[in-house]
Amino acid sequence: MELFEEIDAILIKNSSIPFIDENFFYFTGIEGMEESIAIITPDGIEIIAPLLEKRDGIIVYKSRKERDEILKKMLHGKKVGINGKAMVYEDYIHFKKMFDLVDVGKRLQMKRAIKSREEIKKIKKAVSITKEILKKIELEGRSERDVANEIKCMLAKKNAEEAFKTIVAFGKNSSMPH
């Protein structure tokens, strides 16, 4: 199924941490941005965000009412896809009153599963950096926290960042990393 089959746009809503939809970053390249919305259409992406997130190319709002007015103008009469798994129930109920919603979460998942050449290139680079760092790490006589901090420092020196919080577990703790 095509991403936009039977829908006109996709609304991806970030709530407050920890309710951040990973698809927001995937489509916009912007991390975080609590209470922000990405409207994705076949023609492009618009970002609607609170005034605190103001930056070039972003439509800002000062209140929920103003945000809803912006959304109504953009999406009036359109069938709107959402990621049902990531949208908090309160937002779902609110947007359901405004738009004809379709859960396209599985489509988004499939789109993200198929990697572009650029994504594959980035993954290979990340693997290479990780292998290089792991070869240099000394574990003897050190705490797991100390090793994790060194990994973070080494990543920063390589102009890289964590994809997720670094987990270091060895010795008696290695079977219970979380």
pLDDT tens figures, 43-95: 999 999 999 888 888 999 999 999 999 999 999 999 999 999 999 999 999 99
Domains identified in the chain, total number: 2
Q: Whole-prediction pTM value?
A: 0.77
Specify whether 143 is located in the same domain as 161: yes
If one counts every other C-beta atom within 10 angstroms of the C-beta of residue 71, the result is 20
Same domain, 52 and 98: yes
Task: Please tell me whether residues 13 and 79 are part of one structural domain.
Answer: yes
Q: pLDDT digit string (tens) for 3-39?
A: 899 999 999 999 888 888 999 999 998 887 889 999 9
Q: Are residues 165 and 102 located together in one domain of the fold?
A: no
Q: Give the pLDDT score at 173.
A: 63
What domain range is 26 assigned to? 9-113
Q: Sheet with 9-13: list strands edge to edge.
A: 58-61, 44-50, 37-41, 9-13, 79-82, 100-103
